[in-house]
Every structure is written in C-alpha cells, then in structure tokens.
Amino acid sequence: MQKLLNSILRNGTLLLFLLLFAIALLLIANNQSYQRNKLLTFSNNIAAPFFNARHQLTSYLKRNIQNQQLIAENQYLLTQLIHQKNQHVLLDSLPFLVIPTQVIHNSIKQNHNYITLNAGAEKGVKKEMGVITAKGIVGVVYATNTKTSGVISLLNKSLRVNAKLKKSNHFGSLYWDGVATNTMKLSDVPLAANVEVGDTLTTGGMSAIFPAGIEIGVIQDVVVPLNDNYYTLTVSLFEDLTRLSNVYVVDFPQAEALKEMINSNNDE
C-alpha cells in the first residue's frame, strides 16, 4: 500500500496529465460529432481484438450451456422435420417425441457393435425405440436402466431395418455386411424398382421404431444378380457412425397401442 502511494506521488504529474488528457478527449468526443465518430472508430479498432478474445473465452467457458441450447433447438427442428416428412404416412397420425442424449460408448470394430447412451428409463428411453441423428439413423435400443441405455448399432450384423427408395417407394431390408463402417447393404428390392446409383434411401416407416422419411444414405453400387429377382445394393450412409456424439431417441408414446391393435387384427 505504501509502495502504491509512493508510486502515485512519484508519478503524480504524469497521472494528472493523463487525467486531464482523458477529460479533454471526453470533451472533444462529446462536443464534436466528427471527432466523436473518429474516436469511436479508433477505439473500436483498438478494442475489437480484445472483445473478440473475450468472446472466444466466454464462448469456450459457456460451451456446455450453448451445447444444451443447440441440442434443444435440434430436438425441436428434428421433430418438425420428421413430422413434415411423415404427413402422407399412416404413422403420422401417431405423435412422436425425440429425446436428446449423448453417446458415451460406441464400438465399431466388431461384427456385432453396440452403442451406450447416457439417457435411460429416467428420461423415458425404452426398449425397441429408434435412435437417430439429424443425418440419419443410428440403431435400436435393446436394453435400458435408469441412467443409461444400450443400442444395437446399425453396424451390427444382426440388425435389419426397413428402408425404402425415395424415388420409387420400393421397400427393402437394410443390413450391415461387416465390411466398411460407411456402407451398408440393401436387399429385397425387386428388379422392377429400376434403381440407379445416387438414389436416396429413407426409412420405410413400417414400424413404430423409426418415423418414415428419415434419409439414410445414397445408393453407391447396384448389382443385378443373375438368378435372382432382387437387387443387392450398396448404400453409402450420410451419418458417420464412427463419430457419433449427440443423438436422439425416437419415442412413439402410442407405439404399444399400435402394436396391440396390429396383434389383435392378426388374431382375428
């Protein structure tokens, strides 16, 4: 404190000069519009890098909150998008929600890969719910506990997903052949479908797991078999399943009722 006082007394003249200089600048800025604009521009140029650095720092510190906001926003937009795409499908009458969650484990090197999510029964995640992202489908929930849930990854040889060609509405069965993490196979598409490379593949909407119309990927390769009436197609996925982070679990609240109705119809 003594040192500070001594320093102030020692540099008193300089401090007085700076104080009066600042007052003069203030007077100029307040009374002369041209000088005010120039001073503002000048100070803005000086201050801009500091503001930018501060913004970057606060953005970094607030990234969790911002991520939460983005996830919530994505959740809303994704719901709107899927609702819009499903307007013509029967399942549209079934309202659905998306539950935002994060991937905490994702195996990709096995033939049967699984994903673990950090949302469980507590957040409403149940077995047989679909898991999607904004760029495609990810898998199907096979087990849940309170805080986490297990998902059969699309990169799992035992999983088959109903899909359809966007252009011709022909349905097929999508599965992983265990070769590459960015491609899958589509079988059971009849030759009449006239498939071309580049055709888009979407979810079929034939179950209460995935809403219809979610784009999955594009046809990368078309093989016409010699002794078969069905294509074997290679599909290039839109979503990179090896780099999953934020995903959404699709919840059809009335899925059980639908299943019961289908079962009772079948029984009759």
Question: Where along the sequence are the contacts to other proteins (CB under 8 A)?
Answer: 12-13, 16-17, 20-21, 23-32, 34-35, 38
Q: Output the smallest distance, CB 3 to other proteins, in A.
A: 21
Q: Are strands 183-190 and 171-175 parallel, antiparallel or unpaired?
A: antiparallel
Tokens of 235: 């599909």
Cβ distance to other proteins smaller for residue 38 or 62 = 38
Secondary structure class of 122 (helix, strand, coil)? helix
Cβ-based nearer residue to other proteins, 27 or 224 = 27
- Termini Cα distance of the chain: 93
Q: Do 242 and 235 form a contact (C-beta atoms < 8 A)? A: no
Give the DSSP letter of residue 253.
T
Shortest Cβ 15–other proteins spacing (Å)? 10
Q: Give burial (CB, 10 Å; 0-12/13-18/19+) of 217.
A: buried
CB of 68 to other proteins, least distance (A): 47
CA atoms within 13 A on the CB side of 134: 12
Identity of the residue, 33 or 146, whose beta carbon is nearer to other proteins in the bound complex: 33
Query: Minimum Å distance from CB 9 to other proteins?
Result: 11
Cβ nearer to other proteins, comparing 31 with 45 = 31
Residue among 38 and 157 whose Cβ is closer to other proteins: 38
Least separation in angstroms between residue 50's CB and other proteins is 22
| Chain position carrying tokens 């399942």 | 91
Up-side HSE of residue 157: CA atoms within 13 Å toward CB? 8
Q: How far is the CB of 7 from other proteins (least distance, A)?
A: 16
CA dihedral 257, 263, 266, 268 (to 10 degrees): -80
Euclidean distance between CA atoms 258 and 252, whole angstroms: 10
Residue placing its CB nearer to other proteins in the complex, 13 or 229: 13
Give least dist CB 32 to other proteins, A: 4
Nearer CB in complex with other proteins: 17/76: 17
Closest to 156 in 3D by CA, of 135, 181, 127: 181
Task: For residue 101, list its beta bridge partners.
Answer: 247
